[in-house]
């Protein structure tokens, strides 16, 4: 059995090292990850297919499909957590290229992905290996690329094998 550490400490450490001025949260849901920045008064744009939150103050919500999102500006931080496995590999490849292109020099991309070790991996959807993410971000500084276990949810023993990935555009 592969022994993995828990994801939460890694996520917390990654978030603590970031100090963006603008954030795009792709598949934002309830803004669990970007809420830290919203509370600090940092400009955050969140996009989600479902109407999950309301725009207010420094937060703008856009309801829509992330595959159709048209970038109009570049961001210091682009977050995509727990969303990419819902898309087919080819769709994710294109989306990651758009994300990278629309990240400012010195900015970060923060991804939490279901890994290729997940039992639900159908080889059609995006369940990457750690090395695959490194290849996508060739030429970037890889700050974190760690295979770990998600927090338990639903059934007591239900956890996912996820990759916590943070890269800086140089």
Q: How many residues are present in the chain?
A: 170
- Specify the number of domains making up the chain: 1
Please, which pLDDT band fits residue 140 given cuts at 50, 70 and 90?
very high
pTM: 0.91
Has residue 64 been placed in a domain? no
d(CA 54, CA 50): 11
Output DSSP code: residue 86: G
pLDDT on residue 3? 60
Has residue 56 been placed in a domain? no
Which of 73-82, 90-99, 130-139, 152-161 shows the lowest mean pLDDT across its residues? 152-161
Residue 121 near residue 127, CB atoms below 8 Å: yes
Burial 49-68 (b: 16+ CB within 10 A, else e): eeeebeeeebbebeeeebee
Has residue 137 been placed in a domain? yes
Has residue 126 been placed in a domain? yes
d(CA 88, CA 94): 10
Q: What is the pLDDT of residues 32-89, one digit of tens each?
A: 889 989 999 999 999 999 998 999 999 999 999 999 999 999 999 999 999 999 999 9
CATH number for the domain harbouring residue 124: 3.40.50.150
Domain extent for 100: 7-50+72-168
Q: Is a pLDDT exceeding 90 seen at residue 9?
A: no
d(CA 11, CA 140): 19
CB count, 10 Å around CB of 15? Answer: 16
Pairs from 59-63 (Cβ < 8 Å, separation ≥ 24)? 59/31, 61/28
Has residue 58 been placed in a domain? no
Has residue 1 been placed in a domain? no
Has residue 134 been placed in a domain? yes
Has residue 164 been placed in a domain? yes
């Amino acid at each position: 059995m592969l022994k993995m550490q828990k994801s939460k400490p890694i996520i917390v450490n990654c978030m603590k090292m970031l100090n963006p001025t603008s954030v795009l949260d792709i598949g934002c849901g309830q803004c669990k990850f970007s809420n830290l920045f919203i509370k600090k008064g940092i400009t955050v744009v969140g996009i989600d297919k479902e109407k999950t939150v309301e725009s207010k103050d420094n937060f703008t919500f856009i309801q829509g499909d992330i595959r159709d999102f048209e970038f109009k500006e570049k961001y210091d931080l682009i977050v995509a957590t727990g969303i990419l496995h819902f898309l087919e590999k080819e769709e994710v490849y294109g989306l990651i290229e758009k994300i990278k292109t629309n990240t400012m020099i010195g900015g970060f991309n923060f991804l939490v992905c279901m890994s290729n070790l997940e039992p639900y991996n159908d080889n059609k959807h995006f369940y990457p290996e750690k090395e695959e993410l490194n290849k996508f971000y060739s030429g970037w500084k890889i700050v974190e690329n760690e295979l770990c276990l998600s927090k338990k949810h639903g059934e007591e023993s239900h956890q996912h094998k996820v990759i916590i990935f943070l890269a800086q555009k140089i």
